[in-house]
Amino acid sequence: MNRAVESDLVERLLDGEHRALARVITKIESQTPGYRDLVSEIHAHTGNASVVGITGSPGAGKSTLVDKLAKHYRDQGETVGIIGVDPSSPYTGGAVLGDRIRMASNVGDMDVFFRSMSARGQLGGLSTATADAVKALDAFGKDRIIIETVGAGQNEVDVVKTADTVVVLVQPGSGDDVQMLKAGILEIGDVFVVNKADMEGASRTVSELQEMIHLRDDPRANLDTGHHGAGAFGGSGGHGSGGNGHGHHDGGHESGDAGHGHHDGDTDGEAGEDGKDDTPAVWTPEVIQTVATTGEGIDTLVEALDEHYAYLAESGKLTVKARQRASEEIRQLLRSDVNQLLEAELERRGGIEAFVDAVVEKQTDPYAVAEDVLEPIRECFED
């Protein structure tokens, strides 16, 4: 790509031109030659948006919830960028759900930018492309960025790690879904949402999630004292009456209507029995009930998201997360680029099949092949 054209595209994006934003994301997703230069140019203009990742099993109502979240933010006068991460088509590599009905509540609103992206089968390509698209939306000036995934597999887990706050949706009565969370998603969720809370089994699902969260974070937690559930601090240090309040991060008071709280262990909360509390800041994942189709519970969810972001900022974990993401992004790019170098070296030596033949015929072994191919690269680094 011509550098002058590239710089002009970046300038137009920074000036708030939606067409330029769309073109940049297309180049990122397609890995058009020169796309890395684009991302490099916009990098310095990022870091202003709050990013929420929403995942969960198909059918949990993620798209409807994202729609209502976007409408809530727009009603507050904020701009929104949404990335819908769809599975790759096995035939075209495109987004299977790319033509799905777009955010019904926000049709025609230019300040809600929606884009579907697909995995395209690349090694780590989905998470890298998503992270770069988030940078484009951030540099463009979007106040809120939402990443929605269609599933809850490893690909999606990697994607939502791009977010500051991760929301996991679960359907009522979905015992299998709750059990599935133990396989890994429970570890990354900052807020859990039991959507379709007007369905039978919602309260049981809420209880199961709360029990799993508290056993994960504090195996000693007494689940029968009102110190968990629809609103209390996890652990000692803050105070809460249980019931239906939600605990704010300063340990000071209870209010509100449904289902979330955390404990940050600050010394201005109520002291423990020994008269002091040196517990480090900890966020206990919150469980919120919503009915996305009607918008019920969205206000509570937004409040929980804002509280989590405030917690990250006040505890210094926002910076920690940014460093972790940068570290993983560097490593991912290095892995991808080195992999391409190795593929090129294999081709230069006649292709993988020649090595496979030699291994199958017992003329050599996989370790010896790997050592042979890597030797010139290793020598270059050592020199």
Q: What pLDDT is recorded for position 1? A: 52
Report pLDDT for 353.
Answer: 94
Residues facing residue 246 across a β-bridge? 255
Q: What is the mean pLDDT of the chain?
A: 78
More confident residue, 160 or 170: 170
pLDDT over threshold 60, residue 116? yes
pLDDT at 99: 37
Where residue 317 falls among pLDDT bands split at 50, 70, 90? very high
pLDDT of residue 227: 37
- Position 174 scores a pLDDT of 60
- Give start and end residues of each alpha helix (H) in the chain: 3-14, 18-30, 35-43, 62-75, 125-140, 154-160, 175-181, 185-188, 202-217, 298-315, 317-348, 352-360, 366-382
- For position 257, what pLDDT does the model report? 43
pTM over 0.75: yes
Kindly tell me if the per-residue pLDDT of 26 is higher than 90.
yes
Instruction: Supply the pLDDT for residue 175.
Output: 61
Phi, psi angles (nearest 5°) of residue 115: -145, 130
